[in-house]
Structure formats: C-alpha cells, structure tokens
Amino acid sequence: MKAVRFHEFGSEDVLRLEEIPEPTPSPSETLVRIKAVAVNPADLVIRAGHWRLWPIPLPFVLGVEGAGIVEKGRGRFKAGDQVIVSGGPLGSRTDGLYAELVAVPETLLVPVPKGISLEQAATVPSAFLTAYLALLHTARLKAGEWALVTGASGGVGGAAVQVAKALGAQVITTVGSQAKHAKAEALGADYVIDLSSERMAETVQRVTNGSSVEVGLDTLGGDIVAQVLATLMPGGRLVMVGYTAGPSATLNIFDLLKPINLYGFNLFAIPSEIVGAAYAQILAWLADGTIQPVVDRTLPLAQAAEAHRHMAARQAFGRVVLTM
Ligand SMILES: NC(=O)c1ccc[n+]([C@@H]2O[C@H](COP(=O)([O-])OP(=O)(O)OC[C@H]3O[C@@H](n4cnc5c(N)ncnc54)[C@H](OP(=O)(O)O)[C@@H]3O)[C@@H](O)[C@H]2O)c1
C-alpha cells in the first residue's frame, strides 16, 4: 500500500510517498481503508524532530486523525461503514494515518454522521473534542456568558467559536490578519479582533460594554496569553490549550489576583467516558448542522509536503486534508 513516511527528521522535504507492507489486524483490531487524513500541528512538530514527550521511531508514518471505510466487518462495524479514526498511539507513538490502510482497535472508531463528507469527518476529533471539553468540562461555560477564543482560523479555535455559540455564549475571537476576518465572522462569532491592527484588551472592554469576559480559551500561547488574561473579569476562567505562538509567556500577576482561575488542558488526560459523552453531543450537532467542520483545502496524499508548507506559512483557515 501507499503511505507517506519519513526516515529522518527535518523540513517538509523529508516526507516521501512509499510502498510499504499492508498492516495485519490482530483479533481485536479493525482494518480501515483511509480516505482522508487531517494535517495537525503535531504532525509538523514530530516531522521536524521537535517532539519532546517521547522518542519517535524511524521511519515513521504521521497522521493522528482521519476518516475512511471499514474493510472487513468486526464488532460494532460492518464492511463498508464510514468511520472516523482517532486517538490512542496512532501518528505519535506508532505509525499513523498518512497511509491507505490502518489496523485500529474498535475503541478508536466512531461512525461518520450523516451530512458530512469523509474529508470533513477527518478533521473532527482533535478540533471539536478539544473545543467542547475545554469550554464545557474545564471552563464550565454557560449560556449568556462572554467567551474569548483565540485563533479562529485554527482547527481548535474555529471549532471553539462554533461550540461556544452552540452552548449559548457570546463569542469574541481573534485572527492574525484582515484576510481571515470574514471567514471568522462566518463561523458565528459576535466580534472578530484582527490582532495585526487591534489591541485585545481595549476591544474586549468596548465590545462587552466594559464588563470583560467570563471565559477565555487560548490556543496560541506566547505573548498572547497575557493579553487574554487582561480581558478576564474577576472570577473568570482561562483554559490554556495550545502554544502555536510560543511555549513561554510573561504574565502580569495582578491579572491573576483579580482573582481568576487558570486551567491547563490536555485532551489525552480526560477520562474516556467523558470523551465518549462529548463525542455523542458533537456527532449530534454535526448531524443537525449546528456545527460544521472547517476544511481549508484537500490535497492528494502525495502532496503532504505542500500541505505542511501551507500550514507553516499561516495560510490555512481550518484544516488541510490529505486524500487517498
Ligand atoms: N491541549 C490539548 O489537548 C490540545 C489539543 C489539540 C490541539 N492543541 C494545541 O492547540 C494549538 C492549536 O491547535 P490547532 O489544531 O487549532 O492549530 P492550527 O490549526 O495549526 O491553528 C493555529 C492557528 O494559530 C495561528 N498562528 C500560527 N502561528 C502563529 C504565531 N506565530 N503567532 C500567533 N498566531 C499564530 C494561526 O492563525 P492566524 O494565522 O490567523 O494567526 C493558525 O490558524 C496547537 O498548539 C496544538 O498543539 C492542544
């Protein structure tokens, strides 16, 4: 079968389309023909050799989430069923989904909801589970509250804008350039801050009539966290999800002493029954159109390097998807 893998860490050029042996599923695994795989920021970190959590075995096949068709029926799924594949060790500890076939435990599969394509389905797990659980399980966002979500053009940020609206919140979000402003508005945000030209704290004060926000969800980190902290009202809750703008920050301690509650979020640390319940709500919202996956573009698997370049250049709005 065809797969994209790399034999050494480095730039996009290390990604190679190769012929590799098909996986042989164990008795507890299901064989899935992958049709679409979402490119995640973690893929770029792993490929570059910057993954710090554990050693990556070489050669390695990337891909932490995707969608495809069950090859041979087993357990809850029959041959031909469309499934979303995500979670576990795939694409970070063991070979992932930049491949035509994968053998996966059934626990990593959910059915593709009606009304969405396999390309859209591939982008659902990390973006929507993170957004939903960070906002609801961690920050306890309630209807009527103000939420500030950074990075609307990112997979998680774009999902978080939609989830916060679905939960009945009023949502302010951010983009890095004017070019992405209209697309962020189309996600349903009540106000979009263009960080290239607007100051976050002043704008939030104005938009909320001086009352600040109850909940912040930050996907960017770096210098942006301090700005988000400054927008929280006393008793506010800030969930730290990502660090796209950098892993270090200088914070104003006064902003912490309002006081506010600061939470670190890790999707893999959430108990599986809570993730399962979140998945059920997300699949229901996808099926009735309350939320929609945002796909920036699809490219053939052979153009994985081009997909990585496009993401690194901050040109994407939503996920880039590789198709087979
Ligand atoms: N904690 C968890 O469990 C968990 C789960 C999923 C993801 N994450 C993390 O959450 C973060 C976001 O994930 P994602 O999938 O949404 O990423 P993504 O799709 O790559 O989006 C990141 C967004 O960040 C903005 N950005 C990129 N470089 C930037 C920079 N130098 N300064 C400021 N903004 C920049 C870009 O928007 P603009 O160009 O418009 O600025 C981009 O659209 C990542 O760090 C990821 O690792 C964490």
Q: Quickly tell me which residue has 């490119």 as its tokens.
A: 39
Q: Quickly tell me which residue has 């939503």 as its tokens.
A: 318
Cα→Cα distances 124→29, 74, 87, 213, Å: 22, 23, 12, 27
Distance 244 CA to ligand 1 centre (A): 4
129 C-beta closer than 6 A to ligand 1: no
pLDDT by residue for the chain (324 residues), tens only, comes to: 999 999 999 999 999 999 999 999 999 999 999 999 999 999 999 999 999 889 999 999 999 999 999 998 888 999 999 999 998 899 999 999 999 999 999 999 999 999 999 999 999 999 999 999 999 999 999 999 999 999 999 999 999 999 999 999 999 999 999 999 999 999 999 999 999 999 999 999 999 999 999 999 999 999 999 999 999 999 999 999 999 999 999 999 999 999 999 999 999 999 999 999 999 999 999 999 999 999 999 999 999 999 999 999 999 999 999 999
Distance 153 CA to ligand 1 centre (A): 8
Whole-structure pTM over 0.85, yes or no? Answer: yes
Q: Whose CA is nearest to atom 4 of ligand 1?
A: 241
pLDDT on residue 255: 96
Other Cβ atoms within 10 Å of 167 Cβ, number: 17
CB 43 within 8 A of CB 64: yes
pLDDT on residue 16: 98
96 C-beta closer than 6 A to ligand 1: no
Q: How far apart are CA 37 and CA 313, in angstroms?
A: 20
87 C-beta closer than 6 A to ligand 1: no
Q: How far apart are CA 204 and CA 92, in angstroms?
A: 38
pLDDT on residue 295: 98
For 97, the token pair is: 């989904």
Distance 219 CA to ligand 1 centre (A): 5
Q: Whose CA is nearest to atom 23 of ligand 1?
A: 154
Q: Pick from 150, 244, 266, 275 the residue to mutate for probing ligand 1's pocket: most ligand atoms within 8 Å of its CB.
A: 244
What is the CATH superfamily name and number for domain 2-123+293-323?
Answer: Medium-chain alcohol dehydrogenases, catalytic domain (3.90.180.10)
Distance 236 CA to ligand 1 centre (A): 23
Q: How far apart are CA 244 and CA 176, in angstroms?
A: 12
Q: Quickly tell me which residue has 């704008």 as its tokens.
A: 203
**Quick one: angle between helices 304-312 and 41-48, nearest 10?**
100
Q: Give the DSSP H or E segment for 224.
A: helix 224-230
pLDDT on residue 73: 83
156 C-beta closer than 6 A to ligand 1: yes
- Give 126-268's CATH code, choosing from 3.30.70.1280, 3.40.50.2000, 1.10.3980.10, 3.40.50.720: 3.40.50.720
318 C-beta closer than 6 A to ligand 1: no
Q: Whose CA is nearest to atom 42 of ligand 1?
A: 154
47 C-beta closer than 6 A to ligand 1: no
Other Cβ atoms within 10 Å of 93 Cβ, number: 14
Exposure string of 42-65, with b = 16+ CB inside 10 Å and e = fewer, is bbbebbeeeeeeeebeeebbbbbb
266 C-beta closer than 6 A to ligand 1: yes
pLDDT on residue 130: 98
Can you give the residue ranges of every domain in the chain? Answer: 2-123+293-323, 126-268
150 C-beta closer than 6 A to ligand 1: no
